[in-house]
Chain A
């Protein structure tokens, strides 16, 4: 019988293929994200049973069905809350959360902010297409000003959220942006996000070829500039990261904006977890402890 180490060393792309093929539209940016995640897991050689992929609802949230890890396809906007509970109950697992911009920044905005300040140890990948796809094309929290959609046919009059600035402000300890059209670069960011101990936020431009005719591959390609190509950029500098996050237009930075490693993860900060994952603990309260609980009341 193979040891777990040997099994892990055998992990290939084929092992990570899900039970069914994605039903995304041909050309959807999410295909690239799925492939990059699978590649990253192969390169990191994490056994599939130790990975849990958790999503909310939306096109990109169908992701867990297309990858062969443990998976949870939860409620619209709630993936991060579910993931935090799961990670705290078994912090030995590698947790990936996947979803879209509506799911994460709209209906799930509250959990997004609080998961970051808690520094829950997981990688959150948002496939950001700046539109609601599965509901057939409405304005999303990242749709640009003026963009015409079915829900705002005369153009969006609400300013979009800036996910990178928001994540920096909320205390995320790893903040990055990728582009589905830059596979190698994206795979590298995913690997670093998984390896980072704490909340890793990865916003990925993942064009919607059906409903977003503004922010297309063609639109992004000449604009995206890798932060890694600028040797003077220091991703440990929060202020520099915040300044970079404000760039938008002719030049849009992608890559790792920020990382700090001096903050305890949520599971690392709670002494209750010192004895190992909760899921492996005995359910019974020791008799002497139980007695002390009752004694307090007499």
Chain B
């Protein structure tokens, strides 16, 4: 089993759950550890209950894991909800003045901090948090200097007095733990690696900057808003025009307008906003102006559960906009991939002059992961396809300036027609959402012509073959010879991977097929892999098995079983492991694991 250490911090929104989380994350990352953080929160600014899990380890840590080693409940509610999750070897640090522990499992160390004795709580309202961080740090076997450095940075802006006070409080917690609490048997390791810690939203925004996005617009919607925030904060440094628009209909249309002028344009939203963008996607495909749209899925339908994760928008994505049209749809596999995918999908959208759709979800958008800085490559390949701009097109067909022979929608074998942008002399033309001829003139009104319509449909749809050739087929992860093959898509990659490791350790050979490119799907390659599998189970974060239904519609493939979860929370490895066992034992074909952490 993976050697990791996980901290759970719970409290009401506004009580400062995030700060200790950030501090621990910083300390772990500076020790050269990998980490993953997931915050279970509610749609409330103050109050409610939030529970942050930070898990660190020497190897890659891809998910929140199954075990909490250290629990820090900042209020009674959090203690009552989570103490029962702890098992032997774990510890719980709490404010003895305000929180009463309940019954803990045997082998769980209860660590009450006499907060009012250790700090002046009339002056420092979050003293209990700082004391707990200090105490926890000692128990993990980490020297105090690491915390002192982080606190110094954290409070630098508030002046030396605040810095000194907080370091003092942290020190008191650290020393109290040394005298009263047993340290964890294995001190947290240290390496020379240095990681960047980022959310999927930041990764996608930075990926956009790396791809050369010059126009980003959005309407705020959880859990996609982080992309807007990064873009807005870094717009001037990166030379990106960022606009907040009146609604998502305006967003997609504005993005397409910018893209049509010749820049790379991107926007992000969640399911509700994506629904409003639908008609615009059809326009992008019809006028053949590429645009990249990110959908950060949250639990639906309708307003749904705005702060909870789900993979419930696949069919919305597949069915978005009416009519048949070429597009590419991809789901990033982890937070590092959120960065990497954006330049890749821009190249495809640009080359094939069609919408590029990214199907992300709250788990990645708002989760945090340590990523090696070399994986944040700001010089990825950029391929803008057959684009005629002022730089390469000026004067090339100057003779054709008025009513000339440039055909924006020239019928070609690949379906791709060289695209001139407004402002270039010699290529004046009109694009149209109505069906049109090669030169852009409408055929829909007066002169509809079945032969021309068919030719234009076929021209556009021929691009799908090129897109299919441009995206790689999925590959099997793990040993080819396995008793069970777990099939997932997008954000579940890490947790399925860990479930497979556990199954293999427990003597159940398991491998994994994770889908990143959803359209085009490479159905033949998938059938080839799954045809060799002994037992196939599709794992997804939704009610109806959206991917299973899609795979069946594309390939006629029917798996042996399904593992689904639609309670708003992500899978934990043991959910998958236990479900696989019950399915291999033949007790069910559909497992819906219960989420044990009550948030």
Complex interface residues of chain B between 436 and 468 (CB less than 8 A to chain A): 439-442, 445-446
Scoring A62, A90, A281 by chain B CB atoms within 10 A of each residue's CB, the highest score goes to A90
Mask: chain A, 238-272; 1 = CB below 8 Å from B; 0 = not: 00000000000000000000000000000000111
Task: Give bound CA distance, A93 to B424, whole Å.
Answer: 10
Interface residues on B, range: 35 or more
Is B235 within 8 A of A75, CB to CB?
no
Task: Give bound CA distance, A61 to B14, whole Å.
Answer: 52
**Other-chain residue from A20, A93, A110 in contact with B261 (beta carbon distance below 8 A):** A93
Scoring A71, A82, A284 by chain B CB atoms within 10 A of each residue's CB, the highest score goes to A82
Complex interface residues of chain A between 56 and 112 (CB less than 8 A to chain B): 57, 62, 64-65, 68-75, 78, 81-90, 92-93, 110-111
Beyond A272-B239, A279-B263, whether A65 also contacts B442 by CB under 8 A is yes
Is B262 within 8 A of A279, CB to CB?
yes
Which residues of chain A come closer than 8 Å to B152, judged between CB atoms?
none
**Other-chain residue from B238, B257, B401 in contact with A81 (beta carbon distance below 8 A):** B257
B546: interface (CB < 8 Å): no
B210: interface (CB < 8 Å): yes
Beyond A49-B422, A78-B280, whether A110 also contacts B214 by CB under 8 A is no
B87: interface (CB < 8 Å): no
Is B257 within 8 A of A297, CB to CB?
no
Is B378 within 8 A of A85, CB to CB?
no
Interface size of A by Cβ–Cβ distance < 8 Å?
A: 65
A275: interface (CB < 8 Å): yes
B246: interface (CB < 8 Å): yes
Which residue of chain B is the closest to A92 with respect to CB atoms?
A: B423
Which residue of chain A is the closest to B253 with respect to CB atoms?
A: A81
* Segment from A30-38, A153-161, A176-184, A285-293 that makes contact with B: A285-293
Is B212 within 8 A of A272, CB to CB?
no
Which residues of chain A come closer than 8 Å to B234, judged between CB atoms?
293
Is B214 within 8 A of A281, CB to CB?
yes
Which residues of chain B come closer than 8 Å to A111, judged between CB atoms?
246, 249-250, 253
Q: How far is the CB of A149 from chain B (nearest CB, A)?
A: 22
**Other-chain residue from B261, B264, B401, B446 in contact with A283 (beta carbon distance below 8 A):** B264
B42: interface (CB < 8 Å): no
Which residues of chain B come closer than 8 Å to A53, judged between CB atoms?
430
Which residue of chain B is the closest to A54 with respect to CB atoms?
A: B257
**Other-chain residue from A23, A70, A84, A297 in contact with B445 (beta carbon distance below 8 A):** A23
Complex interface residues of chain B between 206 and 225 (CB less than 8 A to chain A): 206, 209-212, 214-215, 217
A226: interface (CB < 8 Å): no
Which residue of chain B is the closest to A113 with respect to CB atoms?
A: B246
Is A19 within 8 A of B262, CB to CB?
no
Scoring B260, B379, B401 by chain A CB atoms within 10 A of each residue's CB, the highest score goes to B260
Complex interface residues of chain A between 1 and 58 (CB less than 8 A to chain B): 1, 4, 7, 15, 17-20, 23, 47-50, 52-54, 57
Mask: chain B, 247-258; 1 = CB below 8 Å from A; 0 = not: 101100111111
Scoring B257, B401, B433 by chain A CB atoms within 10 A of each residue's CB, the highest score goes to B257
Task: Give bound CA distance, A273 to B378, whole Å.
Answer: 22
Is A49 within 8 A of B256, CB to CB?
no
B265: interface (CB < 8 Å): yes
Is A88 within 8 A of B243, CB to CB?
yes
Mask: chain B, 405-426; 1 = CB below 8 Å from A; 0 = not: 0000000000000000111111
Q: How far is the CB of A229 from chain B (nearest CB, A)?
A: 37
Task: Give bound CA distance, A239 to B57, whole Å.
Answer: 68
Complex interface residues of chain B between 227 and 247 (CB less than 8 A to chain A): 234-243, 245-247
Beyond A69-B428, A85-B255, whether A278 also contacts B263 by CB under 8 A is yes
Is B246 within 8 A of A114, CB to CB?
yes
Is B442 within 8 A of A73, CB to CB?
yes
Task: Give bound CA distance, A290 to B421, whole Å.
Answer: 28
Is B258 within 8 A of A75, CB to CB?
no
Beyond A93-B422, A278-B215, A285-B209, whether A270 also contacts B241 by CB under 8 A is yes
Task: Give bound CA distance, A75 to B280, whole Å.
Answer: 8
Complex interface residues of chain B between 180 and 223 (CB less than 8 A to chain A): 194-198, 202, 206, 209-212, 214-215, 217
B434: interface (CB < 8 Å): yes
Is A74 within 8 A of B283, CB to CB?
yes
Is B262 within 8 A of A298, CB to CB?
no
Is A285 within 8 A of B442, CB to CB?
no
Task: List 11 interface pairs A-B (beta carbons < 8 Å), by A numbering.
Answer: A1-B395, A49-B422, A65-B440, A84-B243, A85-B265, A86-B261, A87-B257, A278-B263, A279-B262, A279-B263, A279-B423
Other A-B pairs, 10, CB within 8 Å; known A75-B283, A279-B421, A298-B196: A54-B257, A74-B287, A82-B256, A86-B257, A86-B422, A93-B422, A93-B423, A110-B246, A272-B236, A279-B423
Q: B residues within 8 Å of A by Cβ?
A: 29, 194-198, 202, 206, 209-212, 214-215, 217, 234-243, 245-247, 249-250, 253-265, 279-280, 283, 287, 373, 376, 378-379, 382, 389-391, 395, 398, 401-403, 421-434, 439-442, 445-446
